[in-house]
Amino acid sequence: MIIKPMVRSNMCINAHPVGCATETFHQIEYVKSQKETRGIKGASEGGAGPKHVLVLGCSTGYGLASRICAAFEYGAATIGVSFEKDPTETKGGTPGAYNNMAFDSAAKKAGLASVTINADAFADETRMHVIDEAKKRGLQFDLIIYSLASPVRTDPDTKVMYKSVIKPIGKVYSGLSIDIMTGTLKESSAEPATEEEIASTIKVMGGEDWRRWIKMLAESDVLAQGCRTVAYSYIGPELSHAIYRNGTIGMAKVDLEKAARDLNEQLKSAVGGSAFVSINKGLVTRSSAVIPIISLYLSILFKVMKEKGTHEGCIEQMERLFAERLYTGKNNSADAVPVDSEKLIRIDDWEMASDVQSVCLERMKNITNENISEYCDLDGYKHDFLAANGFDVHGVDYEKDVSRLDVIE
């Protein structure tokens, strides 16, 4: 069959197996080139850096990029957890399922140990599965990446399912967005969240589950001395704060940041470790495409940063996080991590630079359908949107027949 992207309401609902795999391989090649450029040596090569890494939410975006960096730049053994719909011969899977297949294939070829677990990362059964795998392989994690983003979470104790929402708090939020497929502006709005929705979003996207992971891993003695854990977040420009930073997701991220401070003290006491929240650059995701203002802001941001030569995708961001924040000591060992006054890692520094933001805000004020192609990186935004599902990826023949949907080559 010939597979074309199926886009509904600014969301792509299918995936191309070869395209997803190829995009993953592109990221791996980028990291390998950076390894050579920076002269990074992993532990097996006489250097340092992470040895045993657990990535929670390993299949797409920042989680996948983190796992690629840990494995292919530092030579770490990795265990990855994500919840995917696996493909069959005739039915397609999620993009993450194909990305995981590609990662495991490349890791095997490179002689890198990897275990990928397709399961609900919020469940205690999954935590025990990870612990059992670690003990079976004699691994103690020295880095744990928490990169989970989900619409739902079931509390392991009460069995109550909570749902997260992206909504403002207190009043309706309205603003312009971009219709990705037509490249035109449209007015979007979001109703304010109820108290129940705020609380539910914190339960799903806050720090409760992260705390539970670290607690169970510590009690099971699978944390190495000096273990670090990093969770990912976003702040963005003030114009988006009403829908994001000061909205339901922002409240959850405040809870996540509090968890980081608490976990930092616990890990410091238990294993001489530490916990951080990394504030990352805004990028195209399944959710950002439908949030008022965010899609417009990102398309303008991409254009401005590309003009300045500072634009980064997921893999560039995570490679810089590892090499210029987490592992800057002797022989690429763990060292003091630079943080801001709120103890946050700011790898969004290039996005939030004053010369970038001033141009973005000026263009946001003056955007129209007539000048949208001049002010926005429509092609780049659309590419990232499609590439996340394996479409519009360089080197893939999309006119070629795909005979099976459960293979990536």
Give catalytic residues, as residue numbers: 244
Query: Do 388 and 95 contact (CB within 8 A), yes or no?
Result: yes
Instruction: Identify which of 43, 97, 98 has the alpha carbon closest to the alpha carbon of residue 73.
Output: 43
Q: How many CB atoms lie within 10 A of CB 224?
A: 17
Determine the Cα–Cα distance for residues 278 and 344; give it in Å rounded to an integer.
6
Residue 111 identity: G
Instruction: Identify which of 6, 147, 15 has the alpha carbon closest to the alpha carbon of residue 78.
Output: 147
Pairing mode, strands 152-154 and 161-163: antiparallel
User: The tokens of 147 are what?
Assistant: 């990169």
CA triple 1-22-379, angle to 5 deg: 90
Q: Distance of CA 287 to CAs 6, 151, 244, 370, Å? A: 16, 10, 11, 26
DSSP state string for 183-239: TEEEEEEEPPPPHHHHHHHHHHHSSHHHHHHHHHHHHTT-EEEEEEEEEEE----GG
Determine the Cα–Cα distance for residues 322 and 134; give it in Å rounded to an integer.
23
Residue 256 identity: L
* Burial status of residue 340 (CB atoms within 10 A of its CB: 0-12, 13-18, 19 or more): exposed
Determine the Cα–Cα distance for residues 72 and 351; give it in Å rounded to an integer.
26
Q: Across 201-327, where does the E strand assignment appear?
A: 223-233, 274-279
DSSP state string for 10-50: TEE----HHHHHHHHHHHHHHHHHHHHHHT---GGGT--S-
Q: Which residue has the tokens 């006119």?
A: 399
